């Protein structure tokens, strides 16, 4: 008999399958302090929480029988994942349970924005009958730009099509084939900014998406367009948006999220007559709250019964013998995936991973997840982890192919990551662990190199001509960028070559532009490996 503790308010319907299971006993005890939880958690096999309970390391350590922690929601910030992983406790969430709810809220915000519904309501309830001030626009025939075509963005696009809207869609993993299946037009961020009448945001907040719509985008935006953000605060530059509305570029905006929540009382969004705001209500429906609890309850049962499960947000237990062989390669694998992703243009169709040497005899599934996480983290940031990485790749229709070979080109072990992007572009990065030197990148495309995968790096493609290295060093020195190490690779004298530089700090965009403009240099890209 399994015992499960529910420590936060969760609907009885949401946990009905737990309470009705013949092999499970459920106790609901809400509002417990950390000490109170520590005192009783040892007798439970599972813990079910929402956002109120903070599951600390002490609580997890006291959970001597604890096998699973379920979060009835998306975020797991209130759960110490590292402590859970160390103890072999699986942490699961419900990433799909609020998809429709958030989609519908975004669409409701868009309609309210188009017809000035909150403003008209507020004025009407004061006794003023004013029809002239609230002239709206139809959605039919308008162009909607969807930034992010994951679960929620795809559902928004479906509903927009039903309203007769034309859809421009951007997602770093959206291919032409998938766009055709979704009946949307594949577009770049610039295409959407310049051509959309409405823009709705459905991307995670990462260094790449932070302020992806800011002053430069507003300057070229179609006059009179409208913006909806029910995803993450910070994707749109809030102050730049206010300026764009006041300048007459943007007709209005509707936001469910803020860069800092709750916002300060003097935040300009709260008093601006052309901005609609709600307090992060995207997942706040009866159905969503029940759905996430139902989803988590189902997976908790699977885990306790030793059945296949999904939606884990930390790595599931791995046999110690396998873990001992793979663990030294986790960091290297993730960095190889990240490096390959950062030098790849366009939507990624396939991830090819080859393990050679010692790794060819091991079940590499845990390592595969680190590599795919590295590839996806450029676009998903903290929303991708070592367990959901394979699932995210599948939902974006990114094919992951893993092969093994006994020959290693002279190395004891070798990991090769090759990305194939739409249009056939291929990017290959290979790395190994060298005794006494640690992690090394040993191949980029067809070029042999030898460099540590760390920090800020500049990858330069150039023609093998005298003076190029000197020109690069001079330009970087003039711009206060110090070179820590350099590798040059070539196949034949005077032919195509690459230069890989490790530098001491982030390289400004304008310096990369200057590098690419130097004679005999073809491209210059920065790669950042944390």
pLDDT tens, residue by residue, 354-368: 999 888 888 898 899
For the chain, what are the domain ranges?
2-95+287-304, 99-277, 318-453, 454-530
Which phi and psi angles does 359 have, rounded to 5°? -75, -15
99-277 fold: Rossmann fold (3.40.50)
Active site annotation includes 87: no
Active site annotation includes 526: no
Which phi and psi angles does 154 have, rounded to 5°? -65, -40
> pLDDT at residue 301 above 70?
yes
Beta strand 225-229 pairing with 143-147:
unpaired
Active site annotation includes 43: no
Q: How many CB atoms lie within 10 A of CB 91?
A: 26
> pLDDT at residue 220 above 70?
yes
User: What is the average per-residue pLDDT within 178-200?
Assistant: 96
User: Does the domain made of 2-95+287-304 have the CATH classification 3.40.50.720?
Assistant: yes
Q: Round to whole Å and give the CA distance between 428 and 435.
A: 23
Stated pTM of the model: 0.78
Choice among 280, 302, 391, 440 that is catalytic: 280
Q: What kind and span of H or E run contains 26?
A: strand 24-28
Q: Which CATH superfamily is domain 318-453 in?
A: D-3-phosphoglycerate dehydrogenase; domain 3 (3.30.1330.90)
Instruction: Identify the architecture of domain 454-530 in CATH.
Output: 2-Layer Sandwich (3.30)
Choice among 232, 369, 379, 427 that is catalytic: 232
Q: Round to whole Å and give the CA distance between 20 and 420.
A: 48
What digits encode the pLDDT tens for the residues 373-401?
999 998 888 778 776 788 788 888 999 99
Q: Round to whole Å and give the CA distance between 145 and 136.
A: 19
Q: Do domains 2-95+287-304 and 99-277 have the same CATH topology?
A: yes
What digits encode the pLDDT tens for the residues 410-447?
788 899 999 999 888 999 999 999 887 899 999 999 99
């Amino acid at each position: 008999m399994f015992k499960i503790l529910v420590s936060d308010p969760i609907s009885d319907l949401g946990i009905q399958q737990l309470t009705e299971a013949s092999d499970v006993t459920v106790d609901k005890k809400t509002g417990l302090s950390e000490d109170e939880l520590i005192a009783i958690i040892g007798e439970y096999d599972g813990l079910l929480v929402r956002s109120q309970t903070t599951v600390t390391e002490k609580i997890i350590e006291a959970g001597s029988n604890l096998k699973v922690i379920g979060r009835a929601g998306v975020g797991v910030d209130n759960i110490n994942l590292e402590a859970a992983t160390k103890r072999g406790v699986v942490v699961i969430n419900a990433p799909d349970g609020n998809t429709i709810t958030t989609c519908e809220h975004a669409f409701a915000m868009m309609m309210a924005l188009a017809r000035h519904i909150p403003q008209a309501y507020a004025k009407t309830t004061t006794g003023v009958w004013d029809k002239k001030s609230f002239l709206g626009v139809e959605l039919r025939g308008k162009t909607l730009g969807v930034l992010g075509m994951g679960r929620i963005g795809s559902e928004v696009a479906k509903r927009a099509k039903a309203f007769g809207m034309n859809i421009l869609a951007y997602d770093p993993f959206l291919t032409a084939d998938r766009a055709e299946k979704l009946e949307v037009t594949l577009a770049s961020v610039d295409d959407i900014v310049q051509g959309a009448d409405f823009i709705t945001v459905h991307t995670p907040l990462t260094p790449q998406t932070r302020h992806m719509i800011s002053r430069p985008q507003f300057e070229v935006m179609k006059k009179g367009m409208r913006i909806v953000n029910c995803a993450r605060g910070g994707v749109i530059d809030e102050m730049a948006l206010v300026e764009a509305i006041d300048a007459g570029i943007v007709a209005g905006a509707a936001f469910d999220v803020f860069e800092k929540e709750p916002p300060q009382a003097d935040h300009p969004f709260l008093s601006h007559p052309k901005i609609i705001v709600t307090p992060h209500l995207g997942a706040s429906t009866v159905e969503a709250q029940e759905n996430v609890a139902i989803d988590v309850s189902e997976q908790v049962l699977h885990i306790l019964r030793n059945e296949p499960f999904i939606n884990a947000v930390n790595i599931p237990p791995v046999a110690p013998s396998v873990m001992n062989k793979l663990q030294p390669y986790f960091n290297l694998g993730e960095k190889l995936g990240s490096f390959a992703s950062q030098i790849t243009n366009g939507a990624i169709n396939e991830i090819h991973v080859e393990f050679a040497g010692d790794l060819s005899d091991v079940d590499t599934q845990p390592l595969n997840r680190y590599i795919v996480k590295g590839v996806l983290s450029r676009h998903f940031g903290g929303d991708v982890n070592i367990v959901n990485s394979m699932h995210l790749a599948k939902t974006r229709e990114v094919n992951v192919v893993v092969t093994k070979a006994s020959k290693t080109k002279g190395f004891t072990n070798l990991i090769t990551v090759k990305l194939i992007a739409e249009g056939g572009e291929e990017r290959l990065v290979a790395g190994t662990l060298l005794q006494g030197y640690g992690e090394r990148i040993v191949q980029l495309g067809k070029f042999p190199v030898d460099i540590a995968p760390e920090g800020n790096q500049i990858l330069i493609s150039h023609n093998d001509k005298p003076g190029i290295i000197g020109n690069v060093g001079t330009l970087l020195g003039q711009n206060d960028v110090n070179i820590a190490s350099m590798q040059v690779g070539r196949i034949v004298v005077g032919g195509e070559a690459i230069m890989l530089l490790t530098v001491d700090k982030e390289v400004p965009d304008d310096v990369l532009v200057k590098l690419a403009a130097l004679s005999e240099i073809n491209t210059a890209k920065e790669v950042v490996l944390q």
